[in-house]
């Protein structure tokens, strides 16, 4: 017999109060590996205390860097004596973004090897990193990839003009990290502009890199010969912020998210006002209130500053409950509506056709058993549970633990009836754990 965790929510309670937002997961997943670019010591704080960051700590230690966890949110990384350039599968088994080690190790040492990233749940087929590899080749690297490993190496990296087919966040960050030591100037055209791209560039500049234009379509990197250490504070998490803002809306509550950057939330704030929420912005906080019935609105995800794809499951869940029909169009990934099957188990009426989901609205979620199909889909299940009339039990919550620090505790502090329970389970014939009833 084994133990399996579930999140159990008795919904229907409006959330009230203030919630402190942690550091950005997707900035941390880039900045922690980027610290290996420094021939010195880096102190990075405001890191979220989540599984993915813990895995990164083990991965950089496996390379010979010295990594001291000063406190739950602060890592001290000394990358002066790195002895290995290959990351083992066991070190990054659960991190999709292990590919960032390619760019930073190629940039500093001229060689790197990482396990081929796991399948991408959000697209049909393998996780694509062709833009990353094309960028490395443009800088003079040779690349190798099979179903097990990805290897890059170069005797010397020379600055190049690189144009991305689409503004990929990962490719922008990875090529930027590879180019910091390249001889001459590298330009990345059609670059991603997400807040965590800018945060990574700011961090690298703190270490001595020369990067200009991060946050615009064109980033220019002038190669340097030495980068020492430095201290840095990671930006607040745009997606965690948005998840709690939507939680206020879907429960009809009044919640203030604190320690945030309101500018990063503009597309969501506008959408929540559009459906009828009152959204008040302070210097480092946003208050979301519901003062009457909410109405439908259409959403189209896009690259920053468009509506973030990582808030698509959450806003779609809200739109199931408002008055009227809404259409949500997903332009970034081609398979990011799998979670709607789980919402339908709670009574949602959603029709998905390719990259568009149409919600019928006016749905009151019932109780039931659902599972988190991925990280942001898991957040959507929590939101549905918070709004449901009845008890919602969520399985596969390891996805949630990868990206949301202490979310049960934070939601409980806002008035939610949410618990994590361990249940007895037995593996079935297919090896899948099944709860013992
Ligand atoms: C980052 O993924 C985020 N992950 C994702 O967040 C986020 O959804 C995504 O950016 C878009 O904002 C991290 O930062 C760790 P992309 P990334 O490269 O870099 C295609 C979460 O929940 N593409 O911008 O992988 C790709 O297939 C996660 O926190 C190529 O075709 O995203 C996708 O369709 C989920 N070839 C699109 O571009 C490439 O070489 C966007 O991908 C690279 C990407």
pLDDT digits (tens, 9 = 90+) for 175-219: 999 999 999 999 999 999 999 999 999 999 999 999 999 999 999
Q: Is the CB of 332 under 6 A from ligand 1?
A: yes
- Helix intervals (H) in 329-396: 340-345, 375-387
Instruction: Tell whether the torsion through CA atoms of 391, 392, 397 and 402 is positive or negative.
Output: negative
139-179 pLDDT per residue, tens: 999 999 998 899 999 999 999 999 999 999 999 999 999 99
Which of 34, 114, 126, 170 is the pocket-test mutation for ligand 1 (most atoms within 8 Å of CB)? 170
Provide the β-strand partners of residue 78: 41, 66
Which residue out of 168, 309, 337, 372 has the highest number of ligand 1 atoms within 8 Å of its CB and is therefore the one to mutate? 168
Phi, then psi, of 421 in degrees rounded to 5 = -125, 145
Ligand 1 binding pocket includes 32 (Cβ within 6 Å): no
- Verify whether ligand 1 is closer than 6 Å to residue 129 (CB atom): yes
The Cα 103–Cα 111 span in angstroms is 9
Global pTM? 0.95
pLDDT (tens digit per residue) in 279-288: 999 999 999 9
- Give the tens place of pLDDT for each residue, 343-385: 999 999 999 999 999 999 999 999 999 999 999 999 999 999 9
Q: How far apart are CA 337 and CA 330, in angstroms?
A: 9
Q: Does the annotation count 67 as an active-site position?
A: no
**pLDDT value at position 124?**
76
Residues 6 or more apart whose CB falls under 8 angstroms from that of 65 comprise 35, 36, 77, 78, 79, 81, 82
Question: Is residue 85's pLDDT more than 60?
Answer: yes
> Which residue, among 371, 383, 376, 437, has the nearest Cα to 404 in the 3D structure?
376
3 pLDDT higher than 90: no
Q: Which residue's CA is the nearest one to ligand 1's atom 23? A: 128
Interhelix angle 25-34/51-62, nearest 10 degrees = 10
Q: Give me ligand 1 centre to Cα 25, in Å.
A: 14
Instruction: Give strand ranges (E) for 213-325.
Output: 218-222, 230-233, 254-258, 278-281, 285-289, 299-300
**What's the rounded Cα separation, in Å, for the pair 363 and 361?**
5
């Amino acid at each position: 017999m084994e133990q399996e965790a579930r999140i159990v929510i008795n919904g229907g309670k409006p959330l009230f109060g203030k919630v402190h937002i942690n550091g950005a997961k997707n900035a941390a997943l880039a900045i922690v590996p980027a610290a290996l670019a420094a021939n010195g010591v880096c102190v990075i704080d405001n890191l979220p205390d989540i599984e993915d960051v813990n895995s990164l700590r083990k991965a950089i230690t496996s390379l010979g860097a010295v990594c001291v966890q000063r406190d739950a949110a602060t890592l001290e990384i000394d990358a002066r004596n790195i002895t290995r350039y290959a990351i083992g599968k066991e070190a990054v088994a659960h991190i999709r973004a292990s590919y960032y080690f390619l760019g930073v190790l190629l940039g500093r040492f001229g060689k790197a090897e990482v396990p081929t990233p796991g399948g991408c749940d959000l697209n049909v087929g393998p996780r694509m990193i062709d833009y990353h590899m094309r960028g490395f080749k443009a800088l003079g690297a040779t690349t190798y990839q099979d179903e097990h490993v990805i290897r890059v190496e170069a005797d010397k990296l020379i600055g190049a003009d690189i144009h991305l087919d689409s503004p990929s966040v990962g490719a922008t960050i990875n090529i930027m990290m590879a180019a910091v030591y390249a001889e001459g100037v590298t330009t990345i055209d059609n670059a991603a502009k997400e807040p965590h791209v800018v945060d990574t560039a700011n961090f690298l500049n703190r270490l001595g890199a020369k990067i200009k234009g991060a946050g615009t379509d064109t980033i220019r990197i002038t190669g340097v010969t030495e980068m020492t250490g430095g201290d840095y504070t990671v930006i607040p998490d745009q997606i965690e912020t948005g998840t709690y803002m939507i939680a206020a809306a879907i429960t009809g509550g009044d919640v203030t998210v604190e320690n945030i950057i309101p500018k990063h939330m503009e597309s969501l704030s506008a959408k929540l006002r559009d459906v009828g929420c009152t959204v008040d912005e302070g210097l480092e906080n946003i208050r979301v209130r519901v003062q009457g019935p909410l109405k439908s609105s259409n959403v189209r995800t896009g690259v920053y500053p468009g509506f973030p794809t990582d808030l698509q499951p959450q806003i779609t869940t809200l739109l199931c409950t408002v008055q009227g029909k809404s259409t949500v169009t997903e332009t970034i990934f081609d398979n990011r509506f799998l979670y709607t099957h789980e919402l339908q188990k709670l009574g949602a009426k959603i029709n998905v056709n390719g990259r568009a989901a149409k919600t019928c609205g006016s749905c009151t979620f019932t109780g039931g058993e659902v599972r988190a199909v991925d990280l942001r889909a898991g957040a959507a299940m929590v939101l549905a549970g918070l709004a449901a009339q009845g008890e919602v039990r969520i399985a596969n919550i390891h996805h949630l633990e990868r990206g949301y620090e202490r979310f049960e505790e934070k939601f409980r502090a806002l008035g939610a009836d949410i618990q994590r329970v361990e249940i007895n389970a037995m593996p079935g014939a297919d090896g899948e754990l099944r709860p013992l009833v």
